[in-house]
Structure 1
Amino acid sequence: MKTGIFVGDLPRSFQHAIVVTGWFHCRYLWIDSLCIIQDSTEDWQNESSLMRHVYKNAWLNISATAAADSSSGLFFDRKPSLVSAGAVFISWEGNLPTGMFYFFLRDFWEDGVGRAPLNRRAWVVQERFLSRRNLHFGSRGIYFECHVMEACETFPKGLPTFFKEALINRFKAIDVPPVPTATAGAKSFLRNWQKITNAYTNSSLTYASDKLVALSGVADEFQNMSNYTYLAGLWKECFLANQLLWRTRKRVSGQPSVRPSIYRAPSWSWLSLDANIPGSVIIGPSVLIEILDAHTTLVDDNSPTGQVKHGVIRVRGQLEKVYLQKVPRTRDSYSICEEDDKKTGLLTVAFDETAFRATQAYIMPVMFSRGDTLEGLLLVSTEQAPAEFRRVGFFESDDEETHEQLTKQDTENKIIFTIV
Structure 2
Amino acid sequence: MPEVNRSSLAKLYPGFRTAGMWRNAREVNIHSLAHDGTEPVLLGTYLVKRTQSHVAELASNTYSQSSWNFVLTELRKCEINHKACIQYGRPWCPTRLLRLSMTDEGKLLMRLVSTDSSLDAPRYTTLSHMWGKNVTLQLTSKNLEELKRDIPAHIMPKKYLDAAVATWKLGVRHLWIDSLCIMQDSSADWEHESAAMDRTYRHGYCNIAACSAQLNTDGLFYSREPLLFQAGLTEYNGTYFTYQEANLNMFKDLDQEPLYKRGWVCQERLLCRRNISFTRQQIFFECAMELTCEVGKTAASFKWDSVRGLRYIGNATDLFSVRNMRKIDCVPAWLNVVQVYSAMDLTRPEDKLVAISGLARRLHTKLRKPYLAGLWKSHLCIGLAWEVVRSRDPEQTRDKPVRCKEFRAPNWSWASIDGEVAFPLNKFSSQVIRLCSFIEEIVGTNSWNEFGQIRYAKLEALGYPFPVRLLERDFPTNEALSMTSFTVDSVPGMKKGITVTLDTAKHLQSARTYALPLMYDRQGCLVCLLLEAITPSWGSYQRIGVLRGSISRRALKHSPADLDYLDLRGHWKTTNAKPSKALCRFLVSIMQRGDDMATLEPTDQYRRRINLI
State the TM bucket, normalised to the shorter chain.
0.7 to 0.9
Match in the other structure for 1:145: 286
Q: Per-residue displacement from partner, 1:73-99 (whole Å, max 9, x unpaired)?
A: 11222112223456544449xxxxx55
Q: Distance in 2 between matches of 1:385 and 1:258?
A: 28
Q: Identify unmatched segments of 5+ residues in structure 1.
A: 93-97
Question: Residue 347 of structure 1 corresponds to which residue in structure 2?
Answer: 498
> Structure 1: how far apart are the matches of 2:180 and 2:226?
34
Contact 2:374–2:413 (Cα < 8 Å) also in 1:
yes
Question: Computing the radius of gyration over CA atoms, which structure comes out larger, 1 or 2?
Answer: 2
Corresponding position: 1:366 with 2:529 = no
Q: What corresponds to 1:25 in structure 2?
A: 171
1:233 and 1:308 mapped to 2: Cα distance?
Answer: 10
Question: Are the structure 2 counterparts of residues 220 and 68 from structure 1 closer, same or farther at C-alpha, using a change threshold of 3 Å?
Answer: same
**2:312 is matched with which residue?**
173
Tell me if 1:34 matches 2:175: no
Q: Residue 255 of structure 2 aligns with which residue?
A: 114
User: Matched residues in 2 for 1:212 and 1:44: separation?
Assistant: 15
- CA–CA separation in structure 1 for the residues paired with 2:305 and 2:266: 20
- Residue matched to 1:206: 347
CA distance in 2 between partners of 1:78 and 1:109 (Å): 18
Deviations 1:296-326 (A, max 9, x none): 3222244221122222332222111122221
What pairs with 1:152-167 in structure 2 (closer than 5 Å)? 152-155=293-296, 159=298, 161=300, 163-164=301-302
Whole-Å separation in 2 of the counterparts to 1:13 and 1:258: 34
Question: What's the TM-score once normalised by structure 2's chain length?
Answer: 0.60
Q: Is the alpha carbon distance of 1:165 and 1:418 closer, same or farther for their aligned partners in structure 2, counting shifts above 3 Å?
A: closer
**Structure 1's 402 and 212: CA in aligned 2 closer, same or farther, altered over 3 A?**
farther
Matched, 1:196 2:337: yes
Choose the corresponding residue for 1:61, options 203, 207, 213: 207
Greater Cα offset, 321-330 or 206-215:
321-330
SS of structure 2 residue aligned to 1:262: coil
Q: 357, 365, 371: which one pairs with 1:216? A: 357
Residue correspondence of structure 1 range 37-56 to structure 2 within 5 A: 37-56=183-202
AA in 1 matched with 2:510: T
Measured at CA, do residues 76 and 204 of structure 1 come closer, stay the same or move farther in structure 2, by a change above 3 Å? Answer: same
Find the aligned partners of 1:222 and 1:232 in 2 and give their Cα distance. Answer: 14
Q: CA deviation at 1:337?
A: 2.6
In structure 2, what is the equivalent of residue 316 of structure 1?
A: 462
Whether contact under 8 Å (1:296, 1:308) holds in the other structure is: no
Given that 1:146 and 1:173 are in contact with CA atoms closer than 8 Å, whether structure 2 keeps it comes out as no
The answer to whether the Cα contact below 8 Å between 2:530 and 2:547 also exists between their aligned partners in 1 is yes
- Native 8 Å contact 1:83 1:153 kept in 2: no
- For each residue in 1:303-362, what CA deviation from the matched residue of structure 2 results, as whole angstroms up to 9, or x when unmatched? 2211222223322221111222211146522222359xxx99553211112444243310
Decide which moves more: 289-298 or 129-138: 289-298
- Change in Cα spacing, 1:272 to 1:85, as seen in structure 2 (3 Å) is farther
Match of residue 529 from structure 2:
377
Structure 2 residue matching 1:170: 3-state secondary structure: helix
**Partner of residue 232, structure 1:** 373
Range moving further from structure 2, 128-137 or 43-52: 43-52
Match runs of 1:127-146 below 5 Å: 127-146=268-287
Counterpart of 1:81 in 2: which secondary structure? Answer: helix
Q: How many pairs were matched up?
A: 404
The yes-or-no answer on 1:247 pairing with 2:380 is no
| Secondary structure in structure 2 of the residue aligned to 1:190 | helix
Between stretches 320-329 and 132-141, larger displacement belongs to: 320-329
Partners of 2:223 and 2:399 lie apart in 1 by 33
Change (3 A) 1:11 1:81: same
Query: Match of 1:268, SS?
Result: coil
Q: 1:381 to 1:329 in 2, by over 3 A?
A: closer
Evaluate the alpha carbon distance shift between residue 403 and residue 205 of structure 1 in structure 2; reply closer, same or farther with a 3 A threshold.
Answer: farther
CA 1:301/1:133 → structure 2, altered by over 3 Å: closer, same or farther?
same
Task: Give the letter for the 1:127 counterpart.
Answer: E
Q: What amino acid sits opposite 2:404 in the alignment? A: P
Call closer, same or farther: CA 1:101–1:374 in 2, change over 3 Å: farther
Deviation at 1:160, TM superposition (A): 5.0
Which residue is equivalent to 2:53?
Answer: none
CA offset at residue 116 of structure 1? 0.9
Q: Relative to structure 1, is the Cα distance of residues 202 and 24 closer, same or farther in structure 2, using a 3 angstrom cutoff?
A: same
CA deviation vs aligned residue, 1:47-84 (integer Å, no higher than 9, x gap): 21122221111111110112224432112221122234
Aligned residue type for 2:167: T
Distance in 1, matches of 2:245 and 2:202, equals 33
Q: Provide the C-alpha distance between the structure 2 equivalents of 1:166 and 1:151, rounded to a whole number of angstroms.
A: 18
Question: Distance between the aligned counterparts of 2:406 and 2:305, measured in 1?
Answer: 39
On the 8 A contact 1:318/1:406 being kept in 2, the answer is no
Deviations 1:99-157 (A, max 9, x none): 5355423321121x2121001000001111111111001121110101121110122xx
Q: Which residue is 1:415 aligned to?
A: 608
TM-score by length of 1: 0.86
Q: 1:165 to 1:390 in 2, by over 3 A?
A: closer
CA distance in 2, matches of 1:178, 1:354: 40
Give the deviation of 1:235 after TM superposition: 1.0
Structure 2: state its 5+ residue gaps: 1-146, 477-481, 557-581, 589-603
Please give the secondary structure, in 2, of the residue aligned with 1:71.
coil
CA distance in 2, matches of 1:125, 1:138: 17
- Supply the distance in 1 between the matched residues of 2:554 and 2:176 (Cα, whole angstroms): 57
Over aligned residue pairs, what C-alpha RMSD do you find? 3.2
Alignment of 1:274-313 (within 5 A): 274-280=418-424, 281=426, 282=428, 285-313=431-459
Q: How far does residue 165 in structure 1 lie from its aligned partner after superposition?
A: 7.2
Which sits farther off after the overlay, 249-258 or 389-398? 249-258
- The aligned residue for residue 104 of structure 1 is 245
1:30 Cα deviation after fit:
1.1
User: Is residue 7 from structure 1 mapped to residue 158 from structure 2 by the alignment?
Assistant: no
Conserved in 2, the CA contact under 8 Å of 1:178 and 1:226?
no
**Hey, what's the Cα distance between the residues in 1 that align with 2:180 and 2:388?**
36
Matches of 2:386 and 2:333 in 1, distance apart?
A: 16
Question: Which deviations, in whole Å up to 9, do the C-alpha atoms of 1:263-300 show, x marking residues without a partner?
Answer: 11122111111120134524652324231324232222
